[in-house]
Structure 1
Amino acid sequence: MRDLKIYPNCPFVTRVVEVGGLTKSQLIQQLQQYSILINEYAERLLADDKFTTSDTKYSIQTVELTVGDLGFPDGATTDQIFNRAREIGLELCPIELGPYLRMEYLDQPEGYSGDPLQRHQAPSGSITIASEILTEDDDFPKGFYLRCINGELWLRGYRADHLHVWNPDDHFIFCKLFNGRYP
C-alpha cells in the first residue's frame, strides 16, 4: 500500500482573493469585461435570489487540493469531502467567491486534453469551488467550477446529486478560516 499524503502534509496551492464590494450586476459586467465565458448553470446560479453579494470587500485565503489529498484514494461523495475538509480545519467557501476567483486566476492551465468529455465526472483541468449548496433540488446547480478550454476562461456551474462520487484526482477549493471567521 502506498503512503497516502493527506493535507496539510501534501502539496497544495493557496491564494488570497479579494471578494465583495460589487452588486450582482456589476459582478456579471466585470466577468464580461474579463472575457470570461459562463455556462447555463452558472447563469442560473448568478440569477438566483439565493446568490447574494457582500457590500463590503474582504479577503479570503483559499486552499486548493485534490479529493485524494483529503484521504480518499478511491474518491468520495460531496458530503464525505465537505465533512473531511471541516475535520481538518478547512471550510466551505461563500458562493460569491466563484466569480471573484475566476477573475483573479487568469493563468489557469489548459484543461482540454483532446479526449471526449466523460459524462458525470469533473472535466480534466477543472477546479470545483466547495461552497454551501443553495438548494437540495437535483436539477439546480450545486456550485461553480473554473476551467480553461482552448485558451478561454470559463466560470461554470455544475450539478451533482448526493450519490455522485468524485475522483481522487478532482481538484477542490476550500477556505481557511481565522478564529472561526474569514479574515
Structure 2
Amino acid sequence: MPFDNNEIYPYCPFITRSVEVGGLTKSQLIQKLQQYSILMNEYGEKLFTDDKFTTSDKKYSLKTVELTVGDLGFPDGADTEQIFKRAEELGLKLCPLELGPHLRMEYLDQTEGSSSNSLQKQQAPSGSITIASEILSEDDNFPKGFYLRRINGVLWLRGYCADHLHVWNPNDHFIFCQKNTTGKE
C-alpha cells in the first residue's frame, strides 16, 4: 500500500528527548530505579540479569525520537522487523538496551495509561512507549526489550515478549535514536 511521505517521519509530529546514558553498573541502575520508586515486571528483571545486557562505564548523550508505527508509514500496523527496517531507512537507529532504565528515570511525567483488565492479549498496553533496541535472543519466551508505562501513578520499566509474527498497531509508540547524535558510536 503506498503511503504519503508528507505524513511520515520526519514530516509528522514527533517528540525528541536528550538522555544521558551510562556511568552506572547494573546494580547501581537498579538502586536508582528503586530510589525513584520505579517498578519492574519479571521480563524487565530477566533482561537486567542477562549477561548480554551491558552498561557503559562512561556517560554519553543520546537524542531520541518518539513516534508511532503509523508515523513510520504503516497505517495498518507492522511487525517488529518491518518497523526497525523502516526506521533505519528514515535515518533512525536502534537504541542501546541501557537507554531503558535511564530514560525511565528522566521521563517521570509520562501520561497515565489505562489499567483496565480488558487489555487484549498480544497488544502493547495503553499509554506504553516501547524502546526500539537490538533483540538479545530469538527465543520467543525471552524478553525483546523494555517499554515505559505509568499505571495508577506508578512508573514502570517493563520487559516485553513478542514473536516475529506480532503486528504492532499503528498507534503504538516507539522510541528510536537519531543517528550520529551520541558521544559513543
Cα contact 1:147–1:154 (8 A) shared by 2 = yes
Counterpart residue number, 1:14: 16
Counterpart secondary structure, 1:95: coil
Q: Give TM-score scaled by structure 2 length.
A: 0.94
Q: Give TM-score scaled by structure 1 length.
A: 0.95
CA displacement, residues 52-73 of structure 1 (integer Å, 9 cap, x when unaligned): 0000000000000000000000
Deviating above 4 A after TM superposition, structure 1's stretches of 4 or more consecutive aligned residues are 1-4, 179-183
Correspondent of 2:109 among 107, 110, 115: 107
Counterpart secondary structure, 2:65: strand
Determine what percentage of the aligned residue pairs are the same residue.
75
Q: Alpha carbons of 1:180 and 1:13: their partners in 2 closer, same or farther (altered >3 Å)?
A: closer
Q: Alignment length, in residue pairs?
A: 183
- Does residue 170 of structure 1 match 2:158? no
Correspondent of 2:126 among 117, 124, 127: 124
Q: CA deviation at 1:114?
A: 3.6
Q: 1-side partners of 2:97 and 2:18: how far apart? A: 16
Q: 1-side partners of 2:56 and 2:27: how far apart? A: 13
Counterpart secondary structure, 1:44: helix
Counterpart residue number, 2:45: 43
Counterpart residue number, 1:149: 151
Please, which runs of 5 or more residues in structure 1 have no aligned partner? none
Q: CA deviation at 1:116?
A: 1.5
Counterpart secondary structure, 2:7: coil
The alignment yields a C-alpha RMSD, in angstroms, of: 1.8
